Amino acid sequence: MKQDERKTQKTTRAQARMVALRALLRVHMDGGYSNLVLDGALSGAQMDARETALASALFYGVLEREMTLDYVISHYSSIPLKKLSPQVRDILRIGLYQLLYMDKIPHSAAVNESVKLARASRQERAAGFINGVLRSFLRDGAVVPPFPEGMSETARLGVQYACPEWLVSLWRKAYGDDTAQALMEALVGRPPLTVRLNPLRVNGVEQLQQELALYKTEARPVVEGMPWAAALQPTGSVERLRAFRQGWFHVQDLASQLCCQALQVKPGQRVADVCAAPGGKSFTLAEEMKNQGCLSAFDCHPSRVEVIRKGAERLGLSIIQAAVRDASCPQTPLSDFDRVLCDVPCSGLGILRRKPEIRSKAQEMLDSLPALQYRILCESAKLLKVDGVLVYSTCTLNPAENNLQAQKFLQQHPDFAPQQLQLPAWVTRNEWEPENQLTLMPHIHGTDGFFISAFRRKR
């Protein structure tokens, strides 16, 4: 490699680390959503695919392993973690993440680039401190320090899997120790990119494979019984793919596709998706309806309603009518829908791989959610005609937001009966759930953590 080429490569790698640092600071200081923050940071940087991948790996990796990294920092830093500046704290996290989890980056490069990153971030006075912490960690073998005697099992698991103690306790109590640990293991790392093919625009996975081969991207079927589901690898930005721009598919995890299957929609029906943004489930339902009938996609934020409209237009789904409506307190009464999807706001504990910043949330975020969810569920039930089907779903793993809500609804609504879920053969049922409920576990089903329940309005 020529000297100029080596210099350019080092410069772009330094830029990738700077992009990751700035994005992390935005999440930590401004509370931004990880996917939106990173998309914005990458769009403004002139980097090739390799450097973009490095920036993304550092950004998501640090967010995901933050509690483990902070445990290491606290062990080696002479300054308490909370007294470190945000820039120094995140630079140390980036350096330690490379030393602990990125085998292809030489240890010397991880240390030296962290020092350079400090100086480039106007943290010159901290450069020596950062160098000292990282080199002390290397001298001790670059492993997580031993846990102190007397440390509780919950705290130990929290550090090991970078989960807050309240979440470890919640899952151990709700699902047992073995399942809780399996969940924490399964929710580490980047999830696969699964898409739902649009039958109005593409004949099947084989046609998509031929198209994506031009972009050196592979599309493969995921499971039997779901012919319109495919996994893409490698991905990068899907917006760059002509097939995406032409409406051949939209991004959607298998769990959400199963949720749409549970509604059993048919062409010509009236369907409502009461918490629809960004629109993925509305798109799948409209495709299942063969773009025949009427699908009302509601959200309480006008900007998010516009996102639904643009997505429907890209996919050629003319039956979707996107409109502003507050599902928890609707101003205009509606009725006589054949199917209603009630995918409520939730704590998101089933999608930690996609939104790792949830790991740093306080337990108090759960307090107000069940009341809001139940209010939305009860209001949504009013939309349904007799013999109509209502599906309640979340992307979380918390019985208070899931099974207990479904049980409460049936107890307080005698005009509704449980509707058995029709599931593909590959979906393993949980013995502890009735036939109208399903909790999808990442370590069992290979999907996001998700909950689905179905009800039918009686005559």
Bond from prior residue into 278 cis (ω within 30 degrees of 0) = yes
Tokens representing residue 179 in the block? 């399942």
Amino acid at 61: G
59-91 burial, b for 16+ CB within 10 Å, e for fewer? bbbbbbbbbbbbbbbeebbeeeeeebeebbbbb
Query: 429 is written with which tokens?
Result: 């049922």
d(CA 459, CA 456): 10
3-state secondary structure of 105: coil
Q: What is the DSSP letter of 147?
A: P
Q: Check if 395 is active-site.
A: yes
How far is 290 from 321, CA to CA, in rounded Å? Answer: 15
Rounded distance between C-alpha atoms, residue 132 and residue 369, angstroms: 44
Q: Which of 259, 275, 342, 395 is catalytic?
A: 395
Spatial contact of 284 and 252, defined as CB atoms under 8 Å apart: yes
Neighbours of 269 (CB within 10 A): 21
Alpha-carbon gap, residue 36 to 23, rounded angstroms: 10
Spell out the alpha helix ranges (H) of 84-236. Answer: 86-101, 107-120, 124-139, 153-161, 165-175, 177-186, 205-212
Taking CA atoms, 445 is separated from 221, 276, 359, 425, in Å, by 15, 24, 22, 12
Q: β-strands 384-394, 337-343: how paired?
A: parallel
Active site residues: 395
